[in-house]
Structure 1
Amino acid sequence: MPKVEINGIDLFYDIKGTGEPLLLIAGFLCDHVYWSLIMPSLISQYQVIRLDNRGMGRSSAPETPYSLKQMASDVVALLDHIAIDKVHLAGHSMGGQIAQELVLAHPEKIQSLMLLSSLAKGDALFNSIIETWGDLGGNVDLKLYEKVILPWIFTDTFYSIPGMIESLIEFAIKYPFPPATHSLYHHSRAILNFDTIDRLQEIHCPTLVLVGKQDILTPLKFSQQLAQGIPKAELVVLDRGSHGFLVESPDTVVSAMLNFLWKLKPA
């Protein structure tokens, strides 16, 4: 799995499958592995490109502040490096915010856009949560950190599965590429400084806005705002799943993504 030196960092990326290019951008606290459960369905039809955002996974984690525009610029540099001119683009949560900045800066590179559990601007509650998560990383160990944030990510039904949450926490603790505490802080501040509400009307590619009905971190109103602001947006609300629906309801999520992409194929 390769890295490329761009914009002053080493950026890790992974490419699997054949077909039209589909680029996936993960969110806060997550790297390319977060998409793993839906990868088999995607790579059977698409050339899937995943990356670790700066500050996460196997990419460099500079101690200087980050911005989501900067992370979008990293993605553009990666596309130039691998000589891909145009992609379908999907981003989850913060990854969806990065995706918005990317399509606004380089609309010619984006064939379609999928915004999963994302937002244009946080409200007071969301901002308070994200600010706390950014501050918390340097004050508690990773096990306690995960125990604090996971109730915002998964449903009561998921929590009720014996051993499921414990397994996720164990995976995070043993993962060989944990996030640096300064990266959590810089990512949180990048999210807090993000606002595309007045620019959404400039996004003109076909867009899927996908959210779980039980998402309490980025609730339905955030996705409704995206769908209302983006001229060619389609809003799909999943009955099952919350913010972590890529883990909790992967089959439902990938089905919605593939249905959207299928409708874009030439007759």
Structure 2
Amino acid sequence: MSGDLIQVGDGLEIWASRAGDGPAVLLSAGLGMPPGTWAFTGLPDRLVDAGYQVITYAARGVAPSSAPPAPYSVHEMAADAAAVLDHYGVEEAILVGYSMGCYISQALFDVWGGSIRGLAMIAGLRSSVIGEIVNQMELDLIERLGSVPASVSLFEQLMTTLSPSALRDNAQVAVWRDLMGGSADVWTSGAGQHGQTAASYAWMSAGEPTVERLSGIGCPTLVVGFGDDVFFPAAGSREAASHIPNSDWILIEGEGHGGMMLDAQHRATSHVAEFCASLATDR
């Protein structure tokens, strides 16, 4: 995997890569999501072809980045992302977050000294009680067993990533079971899974994002939700988006939390690409 290992302080290294030339777009991934997963969305290639510089990175805890001792905080992870932007000399960027990457994108407003041109958040604005329960269960398992058993992780991924219609199709479930269950371990070490899960749970438990945080987002913002997402239900994300002064809300029906990757029509990708293009014409 080509890219750069960037020193971000305290002996930590964050793997990052950039492609293309032009205005910078930073892609922040979900919990435990390898940066290569963005390829399944088609978004990096589409943005590069449209004249953007696209930066992806592996958040602390995800291979091949460092995994310092747990717990982590969302703001620590955002500081890592800020260091990546600084390493590449970026002074202005569009931020795109998926799932937990939406938390990191919001925290970048607090820790990065550059200018944020626009913010796109997909399936990650307002979490659910289910999300809190799942994170708490994972933390309990880590405390008791040292890690989340692979069979538990696989069940969680299948139940939340796929849409209800896909879950009712045994053939589809079997295919995704083999794909998800056969993938290499994404974590640098157990500390990475523990650290990121703790950061996610702390953000949700604190009631983030607060109305004050949302109302303070001053740049153009796009919020995309999926109709069958149990981690970030559409109704909650739509309500949260209403507190962002300059925001557009898009609902994509028929997809679960994994709609960013699994939607054959790449509807979320199209909306994000169009949003980025609109920022260029606003100048």
Matched residue SS, 2:55 = strand
1:139 Cα deviation after fit: 4.9
1:25 aligns to what? Answer: 28
Do 1:158 and 1:164's aligned partners in 2 also have CA atoms closer than 8 Å? no
Of residues 17, 39, 44 in structure 2, which corresponds to 1:36? 39
The 1-side partners of 2:179 and 2:187 are apart by: 14
2:180 aligns to what? Answer: 169
The 2-side partners of 1:11 and 1:81 are apart by: 11
The 2-side partners of 1:10 and 1:108 are apart by: 21
2:57 aligns to what? Answer: 51
1:258 aligns to what? Answer: 273
Do 1:29 and 1:179's aligned partners in 2 also have CA atoms closer than 8 Å? no
2:190 aligns to what? Answer: 181
Do 1:134 and 1:184's aligned partners in 2 also have CA atoms closer than 8 Å? no
Q: Which amino acid aligns with 1:156?
A: P
Do 2:95 and 2:116's aligned partners in 1 also have CA atoms closer than 8 Å? yes
Task: Determine whether 1:82 maps to 2:88.
Answer: yes
The 1-side partners of 2:228 and 2:129 are apart by: 19
* 1:29/1:145 CA distance change after superposition, 3 Å: same
Task: Determine whether 1:202 maps to 2:216.
Answer: yes
* Alignment size in residue pairs: 264
The 1-side partners of 2:237 and 2:48 are apart by: 27
Of residues 107, 129, 147 in structure 1, which corresponds to 2:155? 147
Identity of aligned residues (%): 25
Do 1:34 and 1:246's aligned partners in 2 also have CA atoms closer than 8 Å? no
The 2-side partners of 1:184 and 1:34 are apart by: 17
TM-score by length of 1: 0.90
Task: Determine whether 1:131 maps to 2:136.
Answer: yes
Do 1:18 and 1:44's aligned partners in 2 also have CA atoms closer than 8 Å? no
1:213 Cα deviation after fit: 0.9
Structure 1 segments of 4+ aligned residues over 4 angstroms from their partners: none
1:42 Cα deviation after fit: 2.4
Task: Determine whether 1:225 maps to 2:236.
Answer: no
Structure 1, unaligned runs of 5 or more: none
Matched residue SS, 1:167 = helix
The 2-side partners of 1:153 and 1:179 are apart by: 23
* 1:256/1:127 CA distance change after superposition, 3 Å: same
1:57 Cα deviation after fit: 2.0
Do 2:34 and 2:186's aligned partners in 1 also have CA atoms closer than 8 Å? no
Matched residue SS, 2:134 = helix
Of residues 118, 124, 132 in structure 1, which corresponds to 2:124? 118
Q: Which amino acid aligns with 1:18?
A: D
* 1:76/1:189 CA distance change after superposition, 3 Å: same
Do 1:203 and 1:230's aligned partners in 2 also have CA atoms closer than 8 Å? yes
TM-score by length of 2: 0.85
Deviation string 1:154-173 (CA, Å, 9 cap, x unpaired) is 1133342544312322442x
* 1:205/1:171 CA distance change after superposition, 3 Å: farther
1:55 Cα deviation after fit: 0.8
Do 1:147 and 1:169's aligned partners in 2 also have CA atoms closer than 8 Å? no
